[in-house]
Structure 1
Amino acid sequence: MVADRTSGTHGTWARYQWQGASKGWVKVSASGVGSVFGSGGVVDASARRQGTNTTPAGTFSVISAFGVGNPGTKLSYRTIGSCSWWIEDPHQADYNRWREDCSHLSTSANEHLADYAGSLYRQAVVLSYNYSSPIRYGAGSGAGIFLHYATSYTGGCVAINSHSELDATLRWLDPAQNPRIVITG
């Protein structure tokens, strides 16, 4: 998958699949679908900082998916409920992870996923940026970098401006194929 920023917060989107040495990489995504980036632009992943609304540039694997119902992905999938949160508070032990918690977590430090389930997070993919060994502060930090739907800009994620292409992407993603997303700026 390639999300290539062309200007401002917008760019191009394409999925490619390896078809062997004779054919190489073949585009398999719908035509005319664009990508959308953070309102703060796209910066090198090693320089990205939490809270800047920037999208990290680089090559990332996919971890899992979530949304309102599995569209047929082979990725590990979680359904958003009223108690679903993404922990973005660096002081929390489960920083940059999903948490089911029906207490009243602060939405200023954590993201209540159900607030965005209607459109932006109808379907989403968790990207590996800052996931394995999270950097909590400074360069390289940031939580909740997803592939999801948006049309104008994001808070730092990369998005596709088509729900149907996002659904097709989730159905296409297969962890056995070691999928990657390349975000350029």
Structure 2
Amino acid sequence: MKKLSILLIFGMLLLSLAACTHEVHESAVDNKSSKNKKAVQIHNESSKLMQESTQKSQVKKNEKKKEDGSNDQGDVKKVTHKNKKDSVTKGKQSNNSTNESASKPANTPQTNNSEVESKNASSSATSENLKQEESNKKEIEGQSVNATPQQKTVSKSSNESPQQATAPSQPVIAETKLAKQTNQILTVVASGIHAHITLWTKNGDIWGKALETNGFVGKYGIGHVHEGSMKTPYGAYSLGFAFGTSNPGTKLPFRLITPTSWWVEDSNDSKYNTWQEGDHFNKPSEHLADYPVQYEYAVVINYNTARTPWAGSGFFIHVSNGSYTAGCVSLPESQMVQLLRILEPNAYILNVTSESMIKGF
């Protein structure tokens, strides 16, 4: 009986010792499990902070790119690559932590959960970065498309010369049918015996003034003429040859006045309205040498080239004597010299009484 009691006591001691040992073991396991949980939690929080920091940095860069309008896709790719690399590194660290914890059965479920959470976080970060990259590309492409018309407009404006951008205004003479027949037109706009005389010349497609002066016309102005009317013929006429006491250097055919030079103005003469050399012609024919001032320099106006009797004859452009003419157009000597040096064959004269009449020719 005494032995039995001793055995019971000894057995109870063993059970008590075993229970204590089991409690110590469970306490150690619980401590290790708690430490592992804290380590995993710290790791997850650290990963989350790093991802948020990376995303904030990326957003700031994108905002800066949008303001500058720069196309920095290379930086987006680098950041994305870096995020992917960081995610892979973090995944490896999570795997190492999982492998260390896998040797302890009590921690296996928590380690697997940590690994899944880490992979999900990495996948989420990568997906967000890819979405951000797509958004950046669309914004950059949109900016490029929107900027293209402006760039084209600026390029076009910078290449255009002032003449191309604003075409020079043409004078009224350029709008006439006469302007299509010749490159030189002498306009004579008269009021009474006084006239405003302008030589228009065409350079390329542009008409401009080559000479401008004041002069005189017939005693009775510009109008419909006949022999002895003392009017300058109205309308447009081609110019013929030049003549005078000396040649100032004209491009027109030139005839030198001699003591026997005449312009026949007798309507009964078969030589009516022509230059002739001879000793005498009936009135009102002109002996050209008798007018050394007026006919020092002169040009024939091709009026009545059909030489119809009594229709009018002997109309010229010549040097002015300071007063009206018998039907010719006169201008100062210096301007007459300049006119003869500019005129070329196929030039025209246009005699009107107002600027508005020019359009009709």
Which category describes the TM-score, using the shorter chain as reference length? Answer: 0.7 to 0.9
CA RMSD of aligned residues (A): 1.2
Whether the 8 Å contact between 2:264 and 2:281 is mirrored in structure 1 is: no
Question: Which residue in 2 is equivalent to 1:8?
Answer: 192
Following the alignment from structure 1 to structure 2, what is the Cα–Cα distance between the partners of residues 54 and 91?
21
Equivalent residues in 2 for 1:99-178, closer than 5 Å: 99-101=276-278, 103-106=279-282, 108-117=283-292, 119-131=293-305, 133-137=306-310, 141-150=311-320, 151-160=322-331, 162-175=332-345, 178=346
Whether the 8 Å contact between 1:4 and 1:35 is mirrored in structure 2 is: no
Q: Which structure features the higher share of strand residues? A: 1
After superposition, give the CA deviation of every residue in 1:57-105 in whole Å (9 maximum; x if it has no partner). 111111111101111112111111111110000111111111111x233
Following the alignment from structure 1 to structure 2, what is the Cα–Cα distance between the partners of residues 11 and 92?
33
Following the alignment from structure 2 to structure 1, what is the Cα–Cα distance between the partners of residues 341 and 268?
35
Following the alignment from structure 1 to structure 2, what is the Cα–Cα distance between the partners of residues 104 and 91?
15
Structure 1 length-normalised TM: 0.86
Following the alignment from structure 1 to structure 2, what is the Cα–Cα distance between the partners of residues 171 and 92?
34
Following the alignment from structure 2 to structure 1, what is the Cα–Cα distance between the partners of residues 226 and 215?
21
Task: Give the counterpart of 2:228 among 43, 47, 51.
Answer: 51
Q: Which structure features the higher share of helix residues? A: 2
Structure 2 length-normalised TM: 0.45
Following the alignment from structure 1 to structure 2, what is the Cα–Cα distance between the partners of residues 93 and 82?
22
Does 1:39 pair with 2:211?
no
Q: Secondary structure at the match of 2:317?
A: strand
Task: Give the counterpart of 2:209 among 27, 46, 52.
Answer: 27
Instruction: List runs of 5+ in structure 1 lacking aligned partners.
Output: none
Following the alignment from structure 1 to structure 2, what is the Cα–Cα distance between the partners of residues 104 and 147?
24
**Structure with greater contact order relative to length (CA < 8 Å, sep ≥ 6):** 1
Question: Which residue in 2 is equivalent to 1:83?
Answer: 260
- Largest Rg, 1 or 2: 2
After superposition, give the CA deviation of every residue in 1:103-145 in whole Å (9 maximum; x if it has no partner). 2333x3210100102x1111110011112x11212xxx11100
Q: Secondary structure at the match of 2:196?
A: strand
Whether the 8 Å contact between 2:257 and 2:289 is mirrored in structure 1 is: yes
- Alignment-mate amino acid for residue 122 of structure 1: E
- TM-superposed CA distance for 1:168, in Å, is 0.9
Percent of aligned positions that are identical: 38
Whether the 8 Å contact between 1:48 and 1:54 is mirrored in structure 2 is: yes
- Alignment-mate amino acid for residue 195 of structure 2: G
- TM-superposed CA distance for 1:3, in Å, is 1.0
Instruction: List runs of 5+ in structure 2 lacking aligned partners.
Output: 1-185, 354-361
After TM superposition, the runs of 4+ consecutive aligned structure 1 residues lying more than 4 A away are none
Q: Secondary structure at the match of 1:159?
A: strand
Following the alignment from structure 1 to structure 2, what is the Cα–Cα distance between the partners of residues 38 and 134?
20
Q: Secondary structure at the match of 1:170?
A: helix
- Alignment-mate amino acid for residue 291 of structure 2: Y
- Alignment-mate amino acid for residue 209 of structure 2: K
